[in-house]
């Protein structure tokens, strides 16, 4: 039989090696009883090899309940640390040791101690994008999916919110009765986006719905139709059955799950330029080969002192007892 080489879709070398790596990763994960978690910002092929894809809150809950021998966390360092703290008997691996987080790095135990000295009466609410040591000093953690409920749960009229100033300002708008001191950290990936950039994209798409992550600046959040965590973006789309186009103000990896779930809708990145600026270099440092190596060689293992884990777990468990906002 003659094969029509012009019409046959021939996989590229890259696609062939991705398919083969995916097959090997799944086989090794089965042999080693490993559970692979991936954040919504990971590269598409890394999301596709995972057992579960989600936001920080969803992945923390998954990490807490798994009985797998190995947890492979395709995300950034603080997320893998959180998985270790919540499930300390498991071996937790971060496939690429360079997967840090600029926002988490913006707060250290020393800088938090300094802010705590300035606000001694305030309860400390720390965003999950922080190190285990910083969590260990905090009263409670929060994520973008539960920050308002966490702040309300404290029955305190004075809160020190760390480290993200945009998420903090967004929470403050919803709880004006609470006095919030807000640390001055920000995520460079989200901070680069301006309301004017989003307005420009919207000008060409007047019927589009804007969905933004609360790590964006307030001029972006002010024009958004919805503000929520990454996974909640998937359910927010369902609120608009007649809308055809959505402008997404967060890291570009989010488009993968949105396009997979809603193949009949169009998703445009909010700066109008896929992966140009809304691209987290830490999230994108992990590739399929790293995941394969991580499983094969059992690298890079997350190790923390028992003391830090015990203290950080208190702040995380308090958070997990609070329901999601979105
Ligand atoms: P989510 O918890 O909404 O997935 O966000 C995590 C994050 O790092 C955002 O930059
Ligand atoms: Fe950290 Fe920002 Fe990357 Fe999220 S997008 S992991 S907050 S640097």
CA distance 51 to 56: 15
CA distance 107 to 234: 30
- Check residues 92 and 6 and name the one with the higher pLDDT: 92
Ligand 1 atom, smallest distance to 229 CA: 3
Q: Walk me through the domains of the chain, giving residue ranges and CATH numbers.
A: 2-99+284-297 (3.40.50.10800), 103-187 (3.40.50.10800), 190-269 (3.40.50.10800)
Closest ligand to C-alpha of residue 56 is: 1
Ligand 2 atom, smallest distance to 101 CA: 1
Grade residue 1 by pLDDT with cuts at 50, 70 and 90.
Answer: very low
- Going by alpha carbons, the residue nearest to atom 5 of ligand 2 is 280
Place of tokens 């307030």: 218
Lowest-confidence segment of 13-17, 113-117, 142-146, 169-173 by average pLDDT: 13-17
CA distance 248 to 33: 36
- Going by alpha carbons, the residue nearest to atom 6 of ligand 1 is 56
213-267 pLDDT, tens digit each? 999 999 999 999 999 999 999 999 999 999 999 999 999 999 999 999 999 999 9
CA of 178 from ligand 1 middle (Å) equals 24
**Average pLDDT value for residue range 298-312:** 98
Asked whether 230 lines ligand 1 (CB < 6 A), one says yes
Closest ligand to C-alpha of residue 214 is: 1
- Going by alpha carbons, the residue nearest to atom 9 of ligand 1 is 215
* Cβ atoms of residues 11 and 253 within 8 Å: no
Classify burial at 3, counting beta carbons within 10 Å of its beta carbon; exposed 0-12, middle 13-18, buried 19 or more.
Answer: exposed
Asked whether 294 lines ligand 1 (CB < 6 A), one says no
The DSSP letter of residue 192 is T
Asked whether 138 lines ligand 1 (CB < 6 A), one says no
Grade residue 13 by pLDDT with cuts at 50, 70 and 90.
Answer: confident
Asked whether 129 lines ligand 2 (CB < 6 A), one says yes
* Cβ atoms of residues 71 and 88 within 8 Å: no
Grade residue 15 by pLDDT with cuts at 50, 70 and 90.
Answer: confident
pLDDT for 8: 61
- Going by alpha carbons, the residue nearest to atom 3 of ligand 1 is 229
- Going by alpha carbons, the residue nearest to atom 2 of ligand 1 is 56
Taking CA atoms, 116 is separated from 141, 221, 313, in Å, by: 15, 28, 20
Compute the mean pLDDT over every residue in the chain, rounded to the nearest whole number. 95
- Going by alpha carbons, the residue nearest to atom 6 of ligand 2 is 101
Asked whether 308 lines ligand 1 (CB < 6 A), one says no
Asked whether 282 lines ligand 2 (CB < 6 A), one says yes
Q: What is the gyration radius of the CA atoms in the chain, in angstroms? A: 20
**Average pLDDT value for residue range 158-184:** 98
Probe residue for ligand 2, chosen from 105, 144, 189, 254 as the CB with the greatest number of ligand atoms within 8 Å:
189
Closest ligand to C-alpha of residue 76 is: 2
Asked whether 103 lines ligand 2 (CB < 6 A), one says yes
pLDDT for 16: 75
pTM, rounded to two decimals = 0.95
pLDDT for 274: 57
Give the count of beta carbons closer than 10 Å to the beta carbon of residue 243. Answer: 14
- Going by alpha carbons, the residue nearest to atom 8 of ligand 1 is 129
pLDDT for 3: 47
């Amino acid at each position: 039989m003659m094969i029509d080489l012009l019409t046959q879709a021939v996989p590229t070398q890259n696609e062939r090696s991705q398919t083969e790596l995916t097959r090997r990763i799944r086989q090794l994960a089965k042999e080693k009883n490993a559970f692979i978690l991936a954040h919504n910002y990971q590269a598409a092929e890394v999301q596709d090899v995972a057992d579960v894809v989600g936001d920080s809150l969803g992945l923390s809950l998954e990490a807490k309940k798994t009985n797998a021998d190995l947890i492979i966390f395709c995300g950034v360092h603080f997320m893998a640390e959180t998985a270790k703290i919540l499930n300390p008997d498991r071996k937790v691996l971060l496939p690429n040791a360079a997967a840090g987080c600029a926002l988490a790095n913006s707060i250290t135990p020393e800088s938090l101690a300094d802010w705590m000295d300035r606000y001694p009466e305030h309860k400390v609410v720390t965003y999950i994008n922080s190190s285990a040591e910083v969590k260990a000093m905090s009263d409670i953690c929060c994520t973008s999916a539960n920050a308002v409920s966490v702040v309300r749960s404290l029955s305190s009229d004075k809160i020190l919110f760390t480290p993200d100033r945009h998420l903090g300002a967004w929470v403050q708008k919803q709880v004006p009765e609470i006095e919030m001191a807000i640390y001055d950290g920000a995520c460079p990936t989200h901070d680069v986006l301006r309301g004017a950039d989003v307005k420009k994209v919207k000008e060409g798409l007047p019927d589009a719905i804007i969905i933004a992550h609360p790590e964006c600046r307030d001029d972006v959040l002010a024009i958004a139709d919805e503000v929520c965590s990454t996974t909640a973006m998937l359910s927010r789309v369902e609120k608009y059955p007649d809308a055809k186009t959505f402008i997404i103000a967060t890291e570009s990896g989010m488009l993968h799950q949105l396009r997979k779930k809603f193949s009949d809708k169009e998703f445009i990145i909010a700066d109008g330029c896929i992966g140009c600026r809304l691209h987290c270099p830490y999230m994108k440092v992990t590739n399929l080969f790293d995941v394969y190596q991580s499983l094969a060689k059992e690298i890079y293992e997350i190790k923390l002192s028992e003391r830090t884990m015990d203290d950080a777990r208190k702040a995380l468990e308090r958070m997990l007892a609070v329901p999601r906002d979105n």
